[in-house]
Amino acid sequence: MPDTSTEPPVSNAKIVNTPEEQEDNRRRTRKVLKKFNRKRENLVPVLQQVQDELGYLPREAMLEVAEYLKVPEVDVYGVVTFYNQFRLKPPGKHSIRVCLGTACHMKGGYILLDAWKRRLGVDRGETTADREYDLDTVACVGCCAMAPVNVIDKKAEGRVSPTRVDGILLAFKMEKEKKAKEKPD
Amino acid sequence: MKTVSLTIDGKAIKAPEGQKVLWAALDNGIYIPNLCAIRKASEPYAGCRLCFVEIEGRNGPVTSCTEPVAEGMVVNTQGPRSRRLARTALELLLASHPVDCAHCAKNRSCELQKLCSLLGVKLNTRRFRKLVHNLPIDSSCPNFTYNPNKCVLCSRCVWTCRERYGVGVLGFAHRGFDRVVTTFEDKPIAESGCRVCDECIEVCPVGALVFKDGRKGTPGCAEVKSKTATS
Ligand code: SF4
Ligand code: SF4
Ligand code: FES
Ligand code: FES
């Protein structure tokens, strides 16, 4: 089933940064900006380096970049939402990437995407409120023979089924509980 | 200024050097379909792909909004190949357009309607599968409404917002089918520094940006609109 949802990924984060976090993000963004001169063509490399520094591009970072490069704020947002490499949400502890390349598409990649969406309660490009998982899609990871493929924490899982989705989640939960028991504080 | 002589649809025309074929034609009462052209813009946006013409000696149709006039140039605005491209571009736009003219503020002053009658395309064409957006309508500003679902991505409002007034509230974001004219973080326009200058409503060729009081926009960007009735 092709994904016919037409809503663009929304950016009204359920995750809100505290004023201290925001100030810290701004400071680290400015540190990156110092390396660049104020030319519009630096927008993409600047965003890449800010994302390297922060792990994603929070609102306050985009605003700093817009002001520094003297480009309209909406243009920074436009570039961030255009390229798949940019994230508006902080990365979760575990990254879930659902392949929707041609082969995985044919083999039901969208069913898995829906399964993850339902289990995690987030859309693609989003992070769960507890910052445990972030969910996104990728277009072919080069192992189509194993389609449908999900990349879990950088490791490719082949022939995934919705049941396997539950299994993966359960394994993560058990791992977390085990760790909590080992360090009961 | 130096002028060049050329022929458009058999009519001998003089146009200032460097002018684009589209404007030379419009200035001489010859209509070429267009949605995204802005006369004062330094660079043509060339996004709507409606303004194709055929030029003698060229292999294929070219977009007239990007093609400068040249001495001795022979232009045909009605050629079958260019018309076919324009028609397809229009049908693609309509495939994602929620046509509801009876309840639309732009009814009878809408560029899509004019283009349809000119190019012989039905507003409810079924050539391509219909796939419309379902985005919220923004009524945050006191005197206008923005319905992104009707937007044809012509970029006129975006250009007007920044080039003429230096504000830059509106811009493009997201990608592919989700591409949309929006604000920083898709916030309501009123919360994004809009100065309610109304200029963007004036230039919108369709029912995406409309006045709340039903006022029709006056032709804003260039003479584009007034000339469309001809031909
Ligand atoms: S924008 Fe034009 S084509 Fe679309 S509903 Fe309004 S009048 Fe009709
Ligand atoms: S809102 Fe209107 S003027 Fe702006 S891009 Fe869309 S169709 Fe063009
Ligand atoms: S399409 Fe998914 S790995 Fe190639
Ligand atoms: S007017 Fe030439 S591409 Fe839109």
pLDDT for res A10 = 42
Q: Are residues B144 and B70 in the same domain?
A: no
Residue B194 lies in a domain: yes
Q: Domains of chain A (ranges plus CATH)? A: 19-82 (1.10.10), 94-182 (3.40.30.10)
Which of B35, B99, B114 to probe ligand 1 with, by most ligand atoms within 8 A of CB? B99
Cβ proximity of A43 and A86 under 8 Å: no
Non-local (6+) Cβ contacts of B209 within 8 A are B144, B145, B146, B147, B157, B200, B201
Long-range contacts of B79-83 (CB under 8 A, 24+ apart): B79/B53, B79/B54, B81/B52, B81/B54, B82/B52, B82/B53, B82/B54, B83/B52, B83/B119
Supply the CATH number for residue B7's domain: 3.10.20.740
Please state whether the predicted TM-score (pTM) of the whole model is above 0.90.
no
- Please judge whether A74 and B180 are an interchain contact, meaning their C-beta atoms are less than 8 angstroms apart: no
Q: Are residues B148 and B62 in the same domain?
A: no
Q: Taking chain A, what is the end-to-end CA distance rounded to the nearest angstrom?
A: 46
Cβ proximity of A120 and A130 under 8 Å: no
pLDDT for res B196 = 85
Q: Are residues B84 and B144 in the same domain?
A: no
Residue B132 CA, ligand 3 centroid: distance in Å: 28
pLDDT for res A8 = 41
Domain final residue pick, B88, B104, B119: B88
pLDDT for res B230 = 34
> Measured between alpha carbons, how far is B54 from B64 in angstroms, rounded to an integer?
9
Determine if ligand 1 sits within 6 Å of the CB of residue B200: no
Query: Which pLDDT tens digit goes with each residue over B190-217?
Result: 999 998 888 899 999 999 999 998 877 6
Residue B148 lies in a domain: yes
CA distance readout (Å), A22 to A25, A28, A31, A55, A57? 5, 10, 14, 14, 11
Supply the CATH number for residue B208's domain: 3.30.70.20
Domain final residue pick, B67, B88, B109: B88
Residue B79 lies in a domain: yes
- Tell me how many domains chain B contains: 2
> Measured between alpha carbons, how far is A88 from A11 in angstroms, rounded to an integer?
7
Complex prediction ipTM: 0.88
What's the rounded mean pLDDT across residues A106-129?
A: 94
Query: Which pLDDT tens digit goes with each residue over A1-13?
Result: 444 443 444 434 4
Range of the domain at B28: 3-88
Indicate the residue of A6, A11, A82 with minimum beta-carbon distance to B175: A82
> Measured between alpha carbons, how far is A45 from A65 in angstroms, rounded to an integer?
11
Q: Are residues B138 and B222 in the same domain?
A: yes
Under-50 pLDDT residues of chain B: 219-231
Residue B180 lies in a domain: yes
Domain final residue pick, B25, B59, B88: B88
pLDDT for res A140 = 93
DSSP B150: G
pLDDT for res A176 = 92
Q: Are residues B58 and B137 in the same domain?
A: no
Closest approach of chain B CAs to the CA of A36, in angstroms?
Answer: 23
Q: Are residues B76 and B16 in the same domain?
A: yes
Residue B146 CA, closest ligand 2 atom number: 1
Closest approach of chain B CAs to the CA of A166, in angstroms?
Answer: 30
How do beta strands A133-138 and A94-99 pair?
A: parallel
